[in-house]
Amino acid sequence: LTITGLIILGIVITSGGGPDHHSIGFQFWRHPGPFTQYNDITGSKGRFLGFWAVLTQAAFSYIGTEIVAIAAGEARNPRRNIPRAIKKVYIRILLFYLGGTFIIGLLVPSTDPSLRLGSGVGKSPFVIAIRNAGIPALPSIINACLLTAASSAASSDLYTASRAIYGLALTRSAPQVFARTTARGLPYVAIGFTALFGALAYMSLSKGAGNVFNYLVDLSAASGLLTWLGIDILYIRFYAGLKAQGISRSSLPWTSRFNTGAAAAWYSAVWIVVILFFSGFNVFLDDSWDVGTFVTDYLPIWLFPVLWVGWKLVKRTHFMRADEMDFLSGLEEVEAASYDEPPPKNFVERVWRTIM
């Protein structure tokens, strides 16, 4: 609701509906333009580096769209509800992510000095646009809404991370203490351990709050990109297993209408690797070396394979061939838990089902 209201408000402001009645239109697309120079590097090289420098932040913004798959293990009627939820992810990306970014590009120029205030909500382009339009009191209300949205995102991240650790513990890939649950099945140890990392946010209270915030964003973005890379690799292996065992794609409960095979996963994986390895290019420029930036950009890249190789060496596990993959274990339980939900009885139920 918050982002929908902000998009509508942004359209009103850029169309001249603010108190100053100034129509912005696409003037910021002409000056300073959609591409800005990176630091003091001029020309096409500077514009390209300016674009490349924000890819990590862009990835950070999209991280979390895969949470729906993690929730599948606890969802009711997953064969029906998970495909419905995944279809809505595309709508949210197009409307909220891309739509919101488009409106921000209309409202605030990249040269606005308020964008460099630090890491607080006052740095939000929407808040800056509302303040520039001369709308009193509303920026404080938007700040409160953004803090509420941030709390929701934190809850989702806490759920995702704790369930991942809990799942690893169930397969004996993590200490068994994380498999402990309450009588109602809540993995309290995994949740408590995950919540401890939230204390890192207090680092932003120091004088270098902006730098700390950027470090946390870079670290989270690199970890998220590695998660996406893992999803790509898993899909490539999954597709190879289906092909090796003669399982038709049409037999799956839900498939994408675009049958690209493993090509899309390969395309995604290659670009993720490229972005990861060049994400910290700025520290290699003249007089730009920063230990914190280098560590947060590249630590996850090396930590992930080290842990994976270490596990292989210690546990002496072998690589599973495509024809050895097990696609049947647990299938009967999933099918038994599936059912056809009754059709909506009235208009309110139809609207609710469409939204949810």
Full 3-state SS string of 251-297: HCCCCCCCCCCCHHHHHHHHHHHHHHHCCCHHHHCCCCCCHHHHHHH
Are 336 and 210 within one domain? Answer: yes
Tell me what pLDDT residue 252 has: 83
Q: Would you tell me how many other CB atoms lie within 10 Å of the CB of residue 87?
A: 11
Mean pLDDT on 214-229: 87
Are 223 and 309 within one domain? Answer: yes
**Contact (CB, 8 A) for 239 and 256:** no
The reply to whether 184 falls in a domain is yes
Residue 229 vs residue 286, higher pLDDT: 229
Is the pLDDT at 319 greater than 70? The verdict is yes
pLDDT single digits (tens) 1-50? 778 888 898 899 898 888 878 888 888 888 887 788 887 788 888 888 88
Is the pLDDT at 76 greater than 80? The verdict is no
Tell me what pLDDT residue 274 has: 93
Percent of the chain at pLDDT exceeding 90? 18
The reply to whether 325 falls in a domain is no
Are 169 and 217 within one domain? Answer: no
Tokens at 273, concatenated: 């690797």
Are 75 and 125 within one domain? Answer: yes
Are 17 and 97 within one domain? Answer: yes
Is the pLDDT at 118 greater than 60? The verdict is no
Is the pLDDT at 122 greater than 70? The verdict is no
Are 293 and 339 within one domain? Answer: yes
Is the pLDDT at 117 greater than 70? The verdict is no
Tell me what pLDDT residue 244 has: 93
Label residues 134-166 b or e (16+ Cβ within 10 Å = b): ebeeebeebbebbeeeeeeeeeebbbbbbbbbb
Residue 240 vs residue 212, higher pLDDT: 240
Q: Which domain holds residue 312?
A: 2-136+206-318+332-355
113-117, 174-178, 208-212, 257-261 — most confident range:
174-178
Question: Which of 205, 238, 266 is the last residue in one of the domains?
Answer: 205
Are 230 and 351 within one domain? Answer: yes
Is the pLDDT at 165 greater than 90? The verdict is yes
pLDDT single digits (tens) 179-194? 999 998 899 999 999 9
Label residues 306-341 b or e (16+ Cβ within 10 Å = b): eeeeeeeeeeeeeeeeeeebeeeeeeeeeeeeeeee
Is the pLDDT at 107 greater than 80? The verdict is yes
Tokens at 72, concatenated: 């599948």
**Chain-wide mean pLDDT for the chain?**
83
Question: Which of 170, 186, 205 is the last residue in one of the domains?
Answer: 205
Tell me what pLDDT residue 233 has: 94
Is the pLDDT at 317 greater than 80? The verdict is yes
Q: Is 132 helix (H, G, I), strand (E, B) or coil?
A: helix
CA distance 271 to 310: 26
The reply to whether 324 falls in a domain is no
Tell me what pLDDT residue 166 has: 93
Are 211 and 349 within one domain? Answer: yes
Are 48 and 73 within one domain? Answer: yes
Question: How confident is residue 89, by pLDDT bands cut at 50, 70 and 90?
Answer: confident
Are 171 and 34 within one domain? Answer: no
CA distance 58 to 53: 10
The total number of structural domains that make up the chain: 2
Tell me what pLDDT residue 179 has: 94
Is the pLDDT at 121 greater than 60? The verdict is no
The reply to whether 142 falls in a domain is no
Question: How confident is residue 354, by pLDDT bands cut at 50, 70 and 90?
Answer: low
The reply to whether 308 falls in a domain is yes
Mean pLDDT on 282-311: 85
Question: How confident is residue 169, by pLDDT bands cut at 50, 70 and 90?
Answer: very high
CA distance 324 to 15: 60
Mean pLDDT on 186-206: 86
Question: How confident is residue 343, by pLDDT bands cut at 50, 70 and 90?
Answer: confident
The reply to whether 144 falls in a domain is no
The reply to whether 146 falls in a domain is no
Residue 204 vs residue 260, higher pLDDT: 260
Q: Could you tell me which of 325, 328, 332, 319 has the C-alpha nearest to residue 245? A: 325
The reply to whether 288 falls in a domain is yes
Residue 118 vs residue 99, higher pLDDT: 99
Are 231 and 343 within one domain? Answer: yes
Are 189 and 264 within one domain? Answer: no
The sign one gets for the Cα dihedral 72, 75, 77, 81 is negative
Question: Which of 182, 205, 228 is the last residue in one of the domains?
Answer: 205
